[in-house]
Amino acid sequence: MMKFERRGAIGIVTMSKAPVNAICFDDWLAVPAMLGAIARDEEIRALVVIGEGKHFSAGNDRREFGVGGRADLDRGTAAVRDGLKAFATCPIITVAAVDGAAMGSALGLACMADVRIGTAGALLGLPEVKAGAFGGYRFVRDYLPDGEVRRMQLTGEPMKGERAYQLGFFQELVEKEHLLPRAIALAGELTQHLRPEFARKVKRVFVGRANEEMWRDYELERLWGVDYLEAGL
């Protein structure tokens, strides 16, 4: 479940589903409408995305990949795609605040933010291969060195927060207790020099990174991933 609250001009989206904030397909289905409603509130200047408790999110709920057939897998992974694209094209400046696990689609979600901060305890991973699945490479390779992403994809082993900071994935590394306060403060800093009516125009420039080539490549990756999953059912 994704919860939304406001703190002044800053919106906060919190992934909240104990114990690891796994995201089910229905959660992803709800994302475009949620972000659309947030975007219509012209008083919100920036958005922070964070996980509740010990983790950002373990990504998709793995239990949903073991039931149903190809049509179910196709609908579910399409919901993930549409949710990620909604975050990527959100007209509001976004900050991802990452502690603990940020796996699979949750790592993709962090990639969709304009700026990312994290803790030394953050763990970034593409563990799908360990569960008989595959996916996530196309997004992450734009934000981390290609060889690092291939290693993550093929081994399923995570990258630690300090290493992610060294490689530029995180713009800041902070202590866990300071993560949310710093993310809120940073969100304010990122928009302090922008007139409200101009801020969303600036975001359109940033959204250029979410180009059609990337989404086309991801769609191929998604469909091949469905093939891979179907073969293992």
pLDDT of residue 206: 80
Q: Are 92 and 42 a contacting pair, CB within 8 Å?
A: no
Task: Provide the domain limits for residue 224.
Answer: 2-232
pLDDT of residue 110: 97
Rounded CA-CA distance 63/230 in Å is 14
Phi then psi for 49, rounded to 5 degrees?
A: -115, 125
The DSSP line for 15-76 is E--TTTT-B-HHHHHHHHHHHHHHHH-TT--EEEEEESTT-SB--B-GGGGSSS-HHHHHHH
Between helices 212-232 and 70-88, what is the axis angle to 10°?
150
Report the predicted TM-score, pTM, of the whole model to 2 decimal places: 0.91
Phi then psi for 15, rounded to 5 degrees?
A: -80, 120
Q: Determine how many CB atoms are found less than 10 A away from the CB of residue 220.
A: 10
Structure-block tokens of residue 24: 């089910």
Over the chain (233 residues), the average pLDDT of each successive run of 10 is: 93 96 94 95 94 95 68 83 93 96 96 97 92 81 94 95 98 98 97 82 74 82 71 54
Q: How many domains does the chain have?
A: 1
Mean pLDDT of the chain: 89
Report the CATH number at residue 135.
3.90.226.10
Contacting residues for 57 by C-beta, under 8 A, at least 6 apart: 15, 20, 21, 22, 23, 51, 101, 102, 103, 105, 106, 109
Between helices 105-112 and 70-88, what is the axis angle to 10°?
20
pLDDT in tens, 161-174: 999 999 999 999 99
Beta bridge partners of 12: 5, 48
Structure-block tokens of residue 221: 């990756």
